[in-house]
Each structure stands twice: as C-alpha cells, then as structure tokens.
C-alpha cells in the first residue's frame, strides 16, 4: 500500500529551514500542487531535507519551474545520486515531476536525504513523497491513484494524461450512468476522500449545471454527493474535494460512485485519512493550515472517450530526467 507525505509534514527535517513563501511573502500556493504547498531549498551549501520511513520503495515529487537547470543529490541511507531536473521556464512549470525513485527496496527502515546543489536560485519546489509499505500505521495517510488496479471504471470514460494531475493522469465522464468502484482495507475511523478537478474545458461535456453524482458503500442504497458548481466555460479547477465519507469501521469496504448529470465527474486520486485514534507525527497536516486561492486554469486540452496517452515512468537507475510533453490522444 502507498503512503503520501506532504512537504509540510513535521516528520521531515529541513536544514536550514526551506523557503515556503513567494517573493510577495505569501505561502506558495499553486492549485495543481498537493495540499497547495511546496518547499524550496535556500541557497546554502548545507541545505538538506531528510525523512525516515519503513517500506519497500519511495518516490519524491516536485514542481519544477525556472532556470538554470536544477541539480540535486538525492538518495537512501547516504548513497546519493545526482539528479538533473527538466529545463522549463518559470511561466510553464512542470507539476508532479518524479524527481527521484528509489526502485524496489528490501522491507526495512531507511532515511531519505535530499540536497540541492544548483548554482543560483533553486528551481526545485518539493511537493510530496509517496512510499510503499506492507503495513499502514495509525496517523498515516493512504494514497490511491485513479490508475490503481483497485479502481474499476464502467461505462464511457475519458483520460487526460497531462502534467497537471497526480501521477499525470485523470479519468472523467459526462455520460449519465457511468460509474466506478474503489475498494480498500481501512483502519478503524478512517475516511475515504475523493479528489478531482472540476472542468468546463471539454466541448463534449459542456454543461454549466452543477455536478450530480451518487455513492453507495458496501451495496447499501445510494447517497447523493454534495453539489459542485461548474467552473466558467473553458476553465478547470484542480484538487477539488468531491467526497468525504463518514468514519469507517476497520476492514475492507467498497465504494460505488455513479455519475448522473451536470459538469463532468473527474477522478484524480483518493486519500485515506486517518481517524481519531492514536496519531503519529507523520502526516499531521493540521500543524500547517494553508489557505489555497483557486484561480481557474484555461487552455487545457481534454481527451476522447476511451483513449489515453502514456506518461513515461521515472528512472531509478540514472536519476536524470527530461521534460515531458503533456499530450492528449485524438
């Protein structure tokens, strides 16, 4: 199973403290970013970030924006690799860039270390980490992507595989009756949270009506999701919280979501938020309240039902990455 750790998680140690504000003194807040935050290394020969975890793999994700090309050293237990980031302009940032992938690890305890050795201001905006583990503990936030095998889509669905979405992909539909299911083995008190964009950018599904959808849990009767208003024509709002379940009893539960009408239902990712039981330091997001200003994005190209474009996986061998070009199949 996968655990997601935000850049503001108190279990991450920054030396010295990394920059979390823009030039205007306000918190960094681009709506494509997880939790709407990133942390940027300051110009210092001793800058570093470290994180201890127990698991079998870890991947670091970041937004990349600006020149010169970012030059990092990232590794596990002191074995650092040189990482060259994509060359991108500040006006066209790359989101959710997999800057480092450890590859498979023997199940055990490890320490990840990140250092920025770029000459000049850093273009590395650390966003989050996802690590794989055999057992999720209390207080840890689970992560399920829309492309995970535990998520099954039925009916007419399209895919948008551009760089604005978690894991560079999202499923969406504007066809009444299309549905999907997701199953997970929950801890006592957990909540399932569905995140996805709200969009009016696909002319196939150009409805100005609010999103209407329902969910049933473990075969119970359907419950209508809270209404979500459509954005203005041609615009997209990212990382919208579309559904939050009530606290769940421990065990396997299956959720069945069904689209009815209105603006498209978009499925980007799920969080399994921990309940009110004993909470470890990791993933205690409440320590860093952030207010995100959502400015709709225009100019995205959306797909054709039943089509997708593959996004290359990060390489764990060389640590060198080139810029991806977001494309939609036609």
Q: What is the mean pLDDT of each run of 10 residues along the chain (330 residues)?
A: 97 92 71 92 83 98 84 92 83 90 97 90 91 94 97 96 92 96 97 95 79 97 92 89 97 98 96 72 35 45 41 31 27
Check: pTM over 0.75? Answer yes or no: yes
> What's residue 318's pLDDT?
30
Pair 101, 56: CB distance under 8 Å: no
Domains of the chain, CATH where assigned: 2-132 (2.60.120.260), 142-287 (2.60.120.260)
Instruction: Give CB contacts under 8 A, 24+ apart, made by 40-44.
Output: 40/122, 40/124, 40/125, 40/126, 41/115, 41/116, 41/122, 41/124, 41/126, 42/16, 42/17, 42/18, 42/122, 43/120, 43/121, 43/122, 44/16
């Amino acid at each position: 199973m996968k655990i997601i750790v935000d850049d503001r998680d108190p279990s991450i140690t920054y030396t010295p403290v990394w920059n979390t504000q823009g030039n205007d003194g306000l918190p960094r807040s681009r709506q494509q970013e997880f939790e709407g935050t990133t942390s940027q290394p300051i110009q210092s020969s001793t800058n570093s970030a470290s994180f201890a975890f127990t698991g079998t793999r870890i991947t670091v994700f970041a937004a990349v924006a600006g020149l010169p090309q970012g030059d990092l050293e990232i590794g596990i237990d002191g074995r650092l690799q040189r990482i060259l980031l994509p060359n991108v302009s500040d006006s066209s940032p790359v989101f959710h860039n997999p800057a480092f992938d450890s590859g498979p690890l023997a199940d055990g305890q490890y320490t990840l270390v990140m250092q920025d050795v770029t000459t000049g201001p850093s273009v590395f905006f650390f966003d989050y980490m996802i690590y794989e583990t055999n057992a999720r503990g209390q207080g840890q936030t689970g992560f399920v992507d829309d492309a995970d095998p535990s998520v099954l889509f039925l009916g007419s669905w399209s895919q948008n595989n551009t760089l604005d979405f978690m894991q560079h992909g999202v499923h969406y539909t504007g066809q009444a009756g299309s549905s999907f299911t997701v199953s997970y083995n929950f801890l006592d008190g957990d909540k399932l949270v569905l995140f996805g964009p709200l969009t009016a950018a696909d002319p196939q599904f150009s409805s100005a009506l609010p999103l209407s959808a329902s969910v049933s849990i473990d075969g119970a009767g359907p419950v209508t999701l809270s209404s979500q208003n459509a954005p203005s024509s041609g615009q997209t709002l990212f990382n919208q919280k579309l559904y939050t379940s009530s606290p769940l009893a421990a065990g396997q539960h299956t959720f069945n979501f069904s689209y009815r009408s209105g603006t498209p239902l978009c499925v980007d990712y799920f969080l399994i938020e921990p309940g009110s039981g004993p909470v470890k330091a990791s993933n205690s997001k409440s320590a860093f309240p952030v207010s995100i200003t959502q400015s709709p994005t225009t100019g995205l190209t959306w797909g054709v039902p039943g089509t997708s474009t593959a996004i290359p996986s990060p390489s764990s061998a060389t640590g060198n990455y080139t810029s991806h070009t977001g494309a939609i199949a036609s």
